[in-house]
Structure 1
Amino acid sequence: MSQQPAPSIAASDRIWTIPNVISFIRLLGVPLFLYLLLGPEKDVAAVIVLAVGGTTDWVDGFVARRMNSVSRLGELLDPFADRLYILATLIGFTVRGVVPYWLTGALLLRELVLAIALLVLRRHGYGPPPVHYVGKTGTFVLLAAFPVILLAQAVDSASSWLTPVGWGLAWWALGLYWAAAALYLLQTTRLLRADKAERARAAVG
Protein backbone atom coordinates (compact mmCIF):
# COMPACT_ATOMS: atom_id res chain seq x y z
CA MET A 1 0.00 0.00 0.00
CA SER A 2 2.32 2.86 1.05
CA GLN A 3 4.87 0.88 -1.02
CA GLN A 4 4.48 -1.81 -3.59
CA PRO A 5 4.05 -5.18 -1.87
CA ALA A 6 6.78 -7.71 -2.26
CA PRO A 7 6.19 -10.20 -5.06
CA SER A 8 5.67 -12.99 -2.53
CA ILE A 9 2.60 -11.23 -1.10
CA ALA A 10 -0.50 -11.84 -3.20
CA ALA A 11 -3.24 -9.22 -3.13
CA SER A 12 -6.51 -10.67 -1.82
CA ASP A 13 -10.14 -9.69 -2.46
CA ARG A 14 -10.83 -9.04 1.23
CA ILE A 15 -12.40 -5.73 2.21
CA TRP A 16 -12.34 -5.61 6.00
CA THR A 17 -8.63 -5.87 6.63
CA ILE A 18 -6.85 -3.81 9.30
CA PRO A 19 -4.97 -1.71 6.69
CA ASN A 20 -8.23 -0.96 4.87
CA VAL A 21 -9.91 0.07 8.13
CA ILE A 22 -6.99 2.44 8.75
CA SER A 23 -7.47 3.88 5.25
CA PHE A 24 -11.22 4.34 5.86
CA ILE A 25 -10.43 6.21 9.10
CA ARG A 26 -7.96 8.37 7.18
CA LEU A 27 -10.75 9.29 4.76
CA LEU A 28 -12.99 10.35 7.64
CA GLY A 29 -10.25 12.76 8.71
CA VAL A 30 -10.56 14.78 5.48
CA PRO A 31 -13.91 16.51 6.21
CA LEU A 32 -12.87 16.98 9.85
CA PHE A 33 -9.67 18.69 8.75
CA LEU A 34 -11.52 21.00 6.35
CA TYR A 35 -14.07 21.89 9.03
CA LEU A 36 -11.35 22.78 11.56
CA LEU A 37 -9.38 24.77 8.99
CA LEU A 38 -12.19 26.69 7.31
CA GLY A 39 -14.89 26.77 10.01
CA PRO A 40 -13.69 27.77 13.48
CA GLU A 41 -10.09 28.08 12.14
CA LYS A 42 -8.70 25.82 14.86
CA ASP A 43 -5.31 25.56 13.18
CA VAL A 44 -3.52 23.53 15.85
CA ALA A 45 -6.31 20.93 15.88
CA ALA A 46 -6.25 20.89 12.06
CA VAL A 47 -2.48 20.30 12.18
CA ILE A 48 -3.02 17.30 14.46
CA VAL A 49 -5.62 15.78 12.12
CA LEU A 50 -3.38 16.37 9.11
CA ALA A 51 -0.33 14.91 10.86
CA VAL A 52 -2.28 11.81 11.91
CA GLY A 53 -3.51 11.39 8.33
CA GLY A 54 0.03 11.62 7.00
CA THR A 55 1.42 9.20 9.60
CA THR A 56 -1.22 6.56 8.98
CA ASP A 57 -0.29 6.66 5.29
CA TRP A 58 2.87 4.83 6.31
CA VAL A 59 1.21 2.74 9.04
CA ASP A 60 -1.36 1.02 6.81
CA GLY A 61 1.31 -0.09 4.34
CA PHE A 62 3.56 -1.35 7.13
CA VAL A 63 0.70 -3.32 8.70
CA ALA A 64 -0.33 -4.75 5.32
CA ARG A 65 3.16 -6.12 4.69
CA ARG A 66 3.79 -7.37 8.22
CA MET A 67 0.40 -9.08 8.49
CA ASN A 68 0.42 -10.31 4.88
CA SER A 69 -2.95 -8.59 4.36
CA VAL A 70 -2.43 -6.75 1.09
CA SER A 71 -5.75 -6.40 -0.74
CA ARG A 72 -6.81 -5.14 -4.15
CA LEU A 73 -9.13 -2.63 -2.49
CA GLY A 74 -6.25 -1.40 -0.36
CA GLU A 75 -4.05 -0.92 -3.42
CA LEU A 76 -6.72 1.47 -4.74
CA LEU A 77 -7.86 2.98 -1.45
CA ASP A 78 -4.45 4.07 -0.17
CA PRO A 79 -3.43 6.28 -3.15
CA PHE A 80 -7.01 7.60 -3.30
CA ALA A 81 -6.77 8.67 0.35
CA ASP A 82 -3.38 10.29 -0.35
CA ARG A 83 -4.76 12.31 -3.25
CA LEU A 84 -7.89 13.30 -1.34
CA TYR A 85 -5.82 14.57 1.60
CA ILE A 86 -3.55 16.53 -0.72
CA LEU A 87 -6.48 17.96 -2.71
CA ALA A 88 -8.42 18.91 0.44
CA THR A 89 -5.33 20.51 1.97
CA LEU A 90 -4.56 22.47 -1.18
CA ILE A 91 -8.13 23.75 -1.40
CA GLY A 92 -8.23 24.68 2.29
CA PHE A 93 -4.79 26.27 2.30
CA THR A 94 -5.48 28.23 -0.88
CA VAL A 95 -8.79 29.54 0.47
CA ARG A 96 -7.09 30.57 3.72
CA GLY A 97 -4.11 32.08 1.89
CA VAL A 98 -1.65 29.70 3.58
CA VAL A 99 -0.05 28.69 0.26
CA PRO A 100 0.23 30.68 -2.99
CA TYR A 101 -1.74 29.84 -6.10
CA TRP A 102 1.38 28.78 -8.02
CA LEU A 103 2.03 25.85 -5.65
CA THR A 104 -1.58 24.71 -5.93
CA GLY A 105 -1.42 25.03 -9.70
CA ALA A 106 1.87 23.11 -9.97
CA LEU A 107 0.55 20.20 -7.91
CA LEU A 108 -2.83 20.08 -9.65
CA LEU A 109 -1.18 20.25 -13.08
CA ARG A 110 0.88 17.18 -12.17
CA GLU A 111 -2.31 15.31 -11.25
CA LEU A 112 -3.92 16.38 -14.53
CA VAL A 113 -0.93 15.09 -16.53
CA LEU A 114 -1.09 11.72 -14.78
CA ALA A 115 -4.87 11.51 -15.21
CA ILE A 116 -4.49 11.99 -18.98
CA ALA A 117 -1.74 9.35 -19.08
CA LEU A 118 -3.99 6.90 -17.21
CA LEU A 119 -6.85 7.54 -19.64
CA VAL A 120 -4.53 6.83 -22.58
CA LEU A 121 -3.32 3.60 -20.96
CA ARG A 122 -6.90 2.53 -20.25
CA ARG A 123 -7.86 3.06 -23.90
CA HIS A 124 -5.08 0.63 -24.84
CA GLY A 125 -6.21 -1.96 -22.29
CA TYR A 126 -3.60 -1.24 -19.61
CA GLY A 127 -4.16 -0.56 -15.94
CA PRO A 128 -2.26 2.12 -13.98
CA PRO A 129 1.52 1.64 -13.80
CA PRO A 130 2.99 0.38 -10.52
CA VAL A 131 3.38 2.98 -7.77
CA HIS A 132 6.97 4.23 -7.77
CA TYR A 133 8.83 4.87 -4.54
CA VAL A 134 9.73 8.38 -5.78
CA GLY A 135 6.05 9.28 -5.95
CA LYS A 136 5.29 7.74 -2.56
CA THR A 137 8.23 9.61 -1.03
CA GLY A 138 6.97 12.84 -2.57
CA THR A 139 3.52 12.24 -1.10
CA PHE A 140 4.98 11.50 2.34
CA VAL A 141 7.15 14.64 2.27
CA LEU A 142 4.23 16.78 1.08
CA LEU A 143 1.99 15.45 3.86
CA ALA A 144 4.79 16.34 6.28
CA ALA A 145 5.24 19.83 4.79
CA PHE A 146 1.58 20.85 5.06
CA PRO A 147 1.26 20.57 8.88
CA VAL A 148 4.56 22.40 9.37
CA ILE A 149 3.48 25.26 7.09
CA LEU A 150 0.13 25.56 8.89
CA LEU A 151 1.77 25.34 12.32
CA ALA A 152 4.16 28.13 11.32
CA GLN A 153 1.14 30.34 10.69
CA ALA A 154 -0.68 29.25 13.86
CA VAL A 155 2.25 29.65 16.29
CA ASP A 156 3.91 33.04 15.87
CA SER A 157 6.75 32.29 18.28
CA ALA A 158 7.93 29.35 16.16
CA SER A 159 7.23 30.86 12.76
CA SER A 160 10.83 32.00 12.20
CA TRP A 161 12.15 28.43 12.01
CA LEU A 162 9.01 26.47 11.08
CA THR A 163 8.42 28.50 7.91
CA PRO A 164 11.75 27.65 6.21
CA VAL A 165 11.46 24.02 7.31
CA GLY A 166 7.93 23.72 5.94
CA TRP A 167 8.75 25.38 2.63
CA GLY A 168 11.95 23.39 2.27
CA LEU A 169 9.88 20.23 2.56
CA ALA A 170 7.30 21.62 0.13
CA TRP A 171 9.93 22.34 -2.53
CA TRP A 172 11.46 18.92 -2.02
CA ALA A 173 8.05 17.27 -2.36
CA LEU A 174 7.24 19.27 -5.50
CA GLY A 175 10.49 18.13 -7.12
CA LEU A 176 9.84 14.49 -6.22
CA TYR A 177 6.26 14.75 -7.44
CA TRP A 178 7.28 15.93 -10.88
CA ALA A 179 10.18 13.47 -11.03
CA ALA A 180 7.68 10.68 -10.36
CA ALA A 181 5.38 12.09 -13.05
CA ALA A 182 8.27 11.94 -15.53
CA LEU A 183 8.90 8.31 -14.59
CA TYR A 184 5.21 7.44 -15.02
CA LEU A 185 5.15 9.14 -18.42
CA LEU A 186 8.26 7.19 -19.43
CA GLN A 187 6.54 3.95 -18.37
CA THR A 188 3.45 4.96 -20.33
CA THR A 189 5.51 5.69 -23.46
CA ARG A 190 7.27 2.34 -23.24
CA LEU A 191 4.00 0.45 -22.83
CA LEU A 192 2.42 2.22 -25.79
CA ARG A 193 5.46 1.56 -27.97
CA ALA A 194 5.44 -2.11 -26.99
CA ASP A 195 1.71 -2.26 -27.74
CA LYS A 196 2.24 -0.65 -31.14
CA ALA A 197 5.06 -3.08 -31.97
CA GLU A 198 2.92 -6.05 -30.90
CA ARG A 199 0.03 -4.90 -33.08
CA ALA A 200 2.40 -4.44 -36.03
CA ARG A 201 3.75 -7.98 -35.60
CA ALA A 202 0.22 -9.36 -35.34
CA ALA A 203 -0.79 -7.56 -38.54
CA VAL A 204 2.22 -8.95 -40.43
CA GLY A 205 1.60 -12.45 -39.07
Structure 2
Amino acid sequence: MEPKLTRDDWLTVPNIITVIRLLLLVPIAYLLVFDMAPVMTAILLVIFGATDWIDGYIARRFNQVSRVGEVLDPIADRLGVAVIAIFLVVGHHLPDWIAYCIVVTDLALATIYLIFKAKHRPKVSYLGKIRTAVLMAGLPLTVFGRIQELDFIGTIGIGLTALGAILHAVTGATYAWEIYRVSKQNREIES
Protein backbone atom coordinates (compact mmCIF):
# COMPACT_ATOMS: atom_id res chain seq x y z
CA MET A 1 0.00 0.00 0.00
CA GLU A 2 1.43 3.37 -1.06
CA PRO A 3 1.58 6.14 1.53
CA LYS A 4 -0.74 9.03 0.84
CA LEU A 5 1.01 12.28 0.05
CA THR A 6 0.05 15.26 2.07
CA ARG A 7 -0.72 18.52 0.34
CA ASP A 8 2.55 19.91 1.74
CA ASP A 9 4.74 17.45 -0.18
CA TRP A 10 6.51 19.16 -3.03
CA LEU A 11 8.73 16.46 -4.53
CA THR A 12 6.15 14.70 -6.65
CA VAL A 13 6.15 13.33 -10.19
CA PRO A 14 3.67 16.02 -11.38
CA ASN A 15 5.87 18.80 -9.98
CA ILE A 16 8.94 17.32 -11.70
CA ILE A 17 6.99 17.23 -14.98
CA THR A 18 5.97 20.87 -14.45
CA VAL A 19 9.61 21.88 -13.90
CA ILE A 20 10.55 20.01 -17.09
CA ARG A 21 7.81 21.97 -18.88
CA LEU A 22 9.38 25.21 -17.66
CA LEU A 23 12.85 24.06 -18.75
CA LEU A 24 11.51 23.28 -22.24
CA LEU A 25 11.03 27.03 -22.68
CA VAL A 26 14.79 27.50 -23.04
CA PRO A 27 15.27 25.41 -26.21
CA ILE A 28 11.89 26.52 -27.58
CA ALA A 29 12.79 30.19 -27.17
CA TYR A 30 16.26 29.61 -28.66
CA LEU A 31 14.84 27.82 -31.70
CA LEU A 32 12.20 30.52 -32.22
CA VAL A 33 14.66 33.40 -31.84
CA PHE A 34 17.01 31.97 -34.43
CA ASP A 35 14.16 30.65 -36.60
CA MET A 36 15.72 27.19 -36.62
CA ALA A 37 14.41 23.63 -36.82
CA PRO A 38 10.66 24.22 -37.11
CA VAL A 39 9.90 20.49 -36.81
CA MET A 40 11.91 20.16 -33.58
CA THR A 41 10.37 23.39 -32.26
CA ALA A 42 6.86 22.14 -33.00
CA ILE A 43 7.60 18.79 -31.35
CA LEU A 44 8.89 20.58 -28.25
CA LEU A 45 5.72 22.69 -28.23
CA VAL A 46 3.56 19.56 -28.44
CA ILE A 47 5.52 18.09 -25.52
CA PHE A 48 5.11 21.37 -23.63
CA GLY A 49 1.33 21.22 -24.12
CA ALA A 50 1.09 17.49 -23.37
CA THR A 51 2.96 17.82 -20.09
CA ASP A 52 0.28 20.24 -18.90
CA TRP A 53 -2.30 17.50 -19.24
CA ILE A 54 -0.01 14.71 -18.01
CA ASP A 55 1.05 16.39 -14.77
CA GLY A 56 -2.57 17.16 -13.85
CA TYR A 57 -3.70 13.63 -14.66
CA ILE A 58 -0.92 12.03 -12.58
CA ALA A 59 -1.54 14.43 -9.69
CA ARG A 60 -5.23 13.54 -9.51
CA ARG A 61 -4.95 9.84 -10.40
CA PHE A 62 -2.15 9.03 -7.93
CA ASN A 63 -3.10 11.48 -5.19
CA GLN A 64 -0.01 13.63 -5.78
CA VAL A 65 -1.76 16.99 -5.70
CA SER A 66 0.43 19.42 -3.76
CA ARG A 67 0.31 23.07 -2.78
CA VAL A 68 3.50 23.65 -4.74
CA GLY A 69 1.92 22.06 -7.81
CA GLU A 70 -1.23 24.15 -7.44
CA VAL A 71 0.93 27.28 -7.65
CA LEU A 72 3.67 26.09 -10.03
CA ASP A 73 1.46 24.52 -12.70
CA PRO A 74 -0.53 27.65 -13.63
CA ILE A 75 2.66 29.73 -13.50
CA ALA A 76 4.30 27.31 -15.93
CA ASP A 77 1.26 27.45 -18.20
CA ARG A 78 0.90 31.23 -18.25
CA LEU A 79 4.62 31.95 -18.45
CA GLY A 80 5.09 29.33 -21.15
CA VAL A 81 2.25 30.51 -23.35
CA ALA A 82 3.33 34.16 -22.96
CA VAL A 83 6.99 33.43 -23.76
CA ILE A 84 6.12 31.29 -26.77
CA ALA A 85 3.64 33.86 -28.11
CA ILE A 86 6.15 36.70 -27.65
CA PHE A 87 8.88 34.83 -29.51
CA LEU A 88 6.48 33.91 -32.31
CA VAL A 89 5.59 37.61 -32.63
CA VAL A 90 9.28 38.60 -32.58
CA GLY A 91 9.86 36.08 -35.37
CA HIS A 92 6.90 37.54 -37.32
CA HIS A 93 4.94 34.29 -37.15
CA LEU A 94 2.02 35.72 -35.15
CA PRO A 95 0.28 39.11 -35.20
CA ASP A 96 1.46 41.39 -32.39
CA TRP A 97 -1.98 41.76 -30.83
CA ILE A 98 -2.04 38.07 -29.86
CA ALA A 99 1.02 38.37 -27.61
CA TYR A 100 -0.24 41.70 -26.23
CA CYS A 101 -3.61 40.14 -25.42
CA ILE A 102 -2.01 37.21 -23.60
CA VAL A 103 0.61 39.21 -21.71
CA VAL A 104 -1.66 42.13 -20.74
CA THR A 105 -4.36 39.74 -19.52
CA ASP A 106 -1.88 37.85 -17.35
CA LEU A 107 -0.33 41.04 -15.94
CA ALA A 108 -3.75 42.54 -15.23
CA LEU A 109 -4.91 39.37 -13.50
CA ALA A 110 -1.74 39.19 -11.39
CA THR A 111 -2.19 42.85 -10.43
CA ILE A 112 -5.83 42.30 -9.45
CA TYR A 113 -4.81 39.25 -7.46
CA LEU A 114 -2.28 41.34 -5.52
CA ILE A 115 -4.57 44.37 -5.09
CA PHE A 116 -7.33 42.28 -3.56
CA LYS A 117 -4.84 40.18 -1.59
CA ALA A 118 -6.61 37.07 -2.79
CA LYS A 119 -5.94 34.10 -0.54
CA HIS A 120 -6.84 31.56 -3.21
CA ARG A 121 -6.74 31.70 -6.95
CA PRO A 122 -10.04 31.01 -8.71
CA LYS A 123 -10.71 27.42 -9.70
CA VAL A 124 -10.02 26.64 -13.32
CA SER A 125 -13.23 27.09 -15.28
CA TYR A 126 -14.47 25.04 -18.20
CA LEU A 127 -13.78 28.06 -20.41
CA GLY A 128 -10.25 28.21 -19.00
CA LYS A 129 -9.69 24.57 -19.97
CA ILE A 130 -10.98 25.21 -23.48
CA ARG A 131 -8.75 28.30 -23.77
CA THR A 132 -5.69 26.32 -22.74
CA ALA A 133 -6.47 23.47 -25.15
CA VAL A 134 -6.97 25.92 -28.03
CA LEU A 135 -3.70 27.74 -27.27
CA MET A 136 -1.77 24.48 -26.80
CA ALA A 137 -3.03 23.32 -30.21
CA GLY A 138 -2.62 26.65 -32.00
CA LEU A 139 0.97 27.39 -30.98
CA PRO A 140 2.54 24.16 -32.35
CA LEU A 141 0.41 24.35 -35.49
CA THR A 142 1.68 27.88 -36.03
CA VAL A 143 5.23 26.56 -35.79
CA PHE A 144 4.53 23.59 -38.10
CA GLY A 145 3.34 26.23 -40.58
CA ARG A 146 6.94 27.51 -40.74
CA ILE A 147 7.72 24.39 -42.81
CA GLN A 148 7.28 25.46 -46.42
CA GLU A 149 5.15 22.46 -47.46
CA LEU A 150 2.91 22.90 -44.42
CA ASP A 151 2.29 26.65 -44.53
CA PHE A 152 -1.49 26.10 -44.64
CA ILE A 153 -1.25 24.48 -41.18
CA GLY A 154 0.32 27.70 -39.94
CA THR A 155 -2.78 29.59 -41.00
CA ILE A 156 -4.92 27.21 -38.95
CA GLY A 157 -2.48 27.58 -36.04
CA ILE A 158 -2.63 31.38 -36.19
CA GLY A 159 -6.43 31.23 -36.23
CA LEU A 160 -6.53 28.89 -33.25
CA THR A 161 -3.96 30.96 -31.36
CA ALA A 162 -5.96 34.13 -32.06
CA LEU A 163 -9.11 32.42 -30.79
CA GLY A 164 -7.15 31.20 -27.76
CA ALA A 165 -5.91 34.74 -27.05
CA ILE A 166 -9.48 36.09 -27.15
CA LEU A 167 -10.66 33.27 -24.88
CA HIS A 168 -7.69 34.06 -22.62
CA ALA A 169 -8.87 37.65 -22.23
CA VAL A 170 -12.46 36.57 -21.56
CA THR A 171 -11.33 33.92 -19.08
CA GLY A 172 -9.04 36.44 -17.39
CA ALA A 173 -11.97 38.82 -16.99
CA THR A 174 -14.10 36.08 -15.39
CA TYR A 175 -11.25 35.17 -13.02
CA ALA A 176 -10.75 38.84 -12.13
CA TRP A 177 -14.46 39.15 -11.36
CA GLU A 178 -14.30 36.02 -9.19
CA ILE A 179 -11.31 37.40 -7.26
CA TYR A 180 -13.19 40.68 -6.70
CA ARG A 181 -16.40 38.90 -5.67
CA VAL A 182 -14.70 36.56 -3.18
CA SER A 183 -12.59 39.40 -1.75
CA LYS A 184 -15.72 41.51 -1.26
CA GLN A 185 -17.50 38.61 0.46
CA ASN A 186 -14.50 38.06 2.74
CA ARG A 187 -14.42 41.76 3.70
CA GLU A 188 -18.14 41.69 4.51
CA ILE A 189 -17.69 38.60 6.67
CA GLU A 190 -14.76 40.18 8.51
CA SER A 191 -16.74 43.43 9.13
| Same fold, TM-score > 0.5, yes or no | yes
* 1:151 positional shift: 0.9
Which residue matches 2:184?
193
In 2, Cα distance between equivalents of 1:34 and 1:72: 28
State the number of aligned residues.
Answer: 188
8 Å CA contact 1:11, 1:72 repeated in 2: no
- Structure of larger gyration radius: 1
Answer yes or no: is 1:176 the counterpart of 2:171.
no
Which amino acid in structure 2 is aligned with residue 178 of structure 1?
Answer: A
- From 52, 75, 80, give the equivalent of 2:75: 80
Q: CA RMSD in A?
A: 2.0
- Does the 8 Å contact 1:144/1:169 carry over to 2? yes
Q: CA offsets per residue over residues 64-100 of structure 1, 9 Å max, x none?
A: 1111111111111111111221122122112211112
SS of the residue corresponding to residue 116 of structure 2 reads helix
Matched, 1:61 2:64: no
Which residue in the other structure is 1:157 paired with?
149
**How many Å apart are 1:137 and its aligned residue?**
2.5
TM-score by length of 2: 0.88
Letter in 2 for 1:152: G
| Residue aligning to 2:86 | 91
Q: Secondary structure at the match of 2:94?
A: coil
Q: Secondary structure at the match of 1:184?
A: helix
The AA in structure 2 aligned to 1:158 is L
Whether 1:47 aligns to 2:42 is yes
Structure 1 residues not aligned, in runs of 5+: 1-8
Aligned to 2:137: 144
Which consecutive segments of 4 or more residues in structure 1 shift more than 2 A?
125-133, 195-199
In the alignment, residue 162 of structure 2 is paired with which amino acid? W
Structure 2 residue 13 is matched with structure 1 residue 18: yes
TM-score normalized with structure 1 length:
0.83
Cα deviation for residue 35 of structure 1 reads 1.6
| Paired residue type of 2:40 | A
Runs of at least 5 residues in structure 2 that lack an aligned partner in the other structure:
none
Mapped partners of 1:93, 1:58: distance in 2 = 23
What is the deviation of 1:10?
Answer: 8.4
Could you report, residue by residue, the CA deviation over 1:157-181 in whole angstroms, capped at 9, with x for unpaired residues?
Answer: 2223x13421331233123212211
